[in-house]
Amino acid sequence: MKTIKQLTVASLVGLSAVANAQAQDKSNAAADYQLSVLNKLGSPAAVVNMPVSQLLNAPGNEALRAFFFTPVQNKTLLKGKRIAVLAADGFEEIELLGPVWYFRELGAQVDIVAPKFVPAPERYGLMFPEMAKTHIMAIQYLQPVGWIKFDRTADQIKVADYDAVFIPGGAWNPDNLRQDKDVLKFIRDFNASGKLIAAICHAPVVLASADILKGRKLTGYWNIQVDLKNAGGTVLEQPVVTDGNLITSRHPIDVADFSRAVEKWLVK
């Protein structure tokens, strides 16, 4: 009896092992299938960083290179001026850091202001690094390249805090800004005050969403010019356009002209 009982237990153990192995095989097969689907839904990761030096050294950009590499002579020209930079994830790196560097070199106080961080709904399946609560992501022509810390959020600022506001471009940044109610209210109020609003590249579409372009002359990146016309603006094909308290430019290569126009307006 003992031998038979031992054989029966052994058989049961063997059957259990077989069942477990089969279940594991099914689990592995399911995991392999899911992985194969995920591989078809995603694209290979590749980061290609474009050094700023490559932009400055490109043929035709000699004036842009000279703008950054010629030392600023009057370090107090904009002393006492306060400038807000409205930016969100996806801003064009040189269009934010370039003017910020220049205005600070001239003695201005410059604050980087971002929309208040609001995580996307869980069902969207998005993940953000912890630093996204205090930093915004830079891009170079749609290529994510780094993060910078912002100073304040759009719900914390008032018109009286600043003498000017400028908005960098980047294809994603304006889309993130133009749906933020605090950003749009600030722009409308700032425009009503007559203080300077400057926007470069894709950024003028934020002004279109704020509904302040009717009857204004301006410019912008080529593929948004139709949006600016539809918003009631008159679009000019120029590196920089100044119309009253509004300054606009088209492209990263216009950063020098854009920055000098802002400087001139604030000095005047």
Catalytic residue from among 201, 206, 213, 247: 201
- Residue 60: which region, alpha, beta or left (left: phi > 0; alpha: psi -120 to 50)? left
Question: What's the residue count for the chain?
Answer: 268
The string of DSSP codes covering 19-66 is HHHHHHHHHHHHHHHHHHHHHHHS---------HHHHHTSTT-HHHHH
Q: Are 176 and 115 in contact (CB under 8 A)?
A: yes
Location of structure tokens 């069942």: 19
Measuring CA to CA, which residue among 141, 247, 253, 261 is closest to residue 199?
247
- Distance between CA atoms of residues 249 and 239, nearest Å: 6
Is-catalytic flag, 121?
Answer: no
Q: Which residues are catalytic?
A: 201
